[in-house]
A = this chain, B = another copy of it.
Amino acid sequence: MPDETTMTMTLPDGTTTGPFTLDDLKAATGKLKGMKADPDFDAAATTAYRVTAAELRQFIERYERLEQDRAGVAEDMKEVMAEAKASGYDTKVLRKLIALRKKDPADVSEEEAILEVYKAALGMD
């Protein structure tokens, strides 16, 4: 007597199939297998992009390596923020401050000034 989670499917015509186990589903999902080449194909006349396994692998592995580096840096950034938080700083404000430092001060004060005008017009001052 089976005792696992399964699915049944009612089709548009009202008939029901199943139940299927998850393994059934996985098995039924066909995969591209054994694509056969056509050696008689006249390659010379085509713009054939080479999909070279070695080359592809190179790109992907370089990229994945860089992703790891980036994750490591992101981890360090989280640690800095966690330390700051533990020291009593408000990390949300810290982030805002850091963002501010990246901007041109002139732009910042202009933006602030316009904002104040708008607030004044709305009676928010």
Contact = CB atoms under 8 A, between A and B. Distances in A.
Interface string A16-42: 111110101110111111011110011
**Copies of this chain per assembly:** 4
A38 B60 CA distance: 42
A107 to B, nearest CB: 10
A118 B92 contact: no
Given A12-B123, A96-B115, A5 B46 contact: yes
Interface of A: 1-12, 16-20, 22, 24-26, 28-33, 35-38, 41-43, 45-57, 59-60, 62-64, 66-67, 69-70, 73-74, 76-77, 80-81, 83-84, 87-90, 92-94, 96-98, 100-101, 109-125
Given A18-B37, A59-B87, 11 more contacts: A10-B52, A17-B35, A28-B113, A29-B109, A30-B31, A60-B97, A60-B122, A62-B80, A66-B76, A70-B74, A97-B122
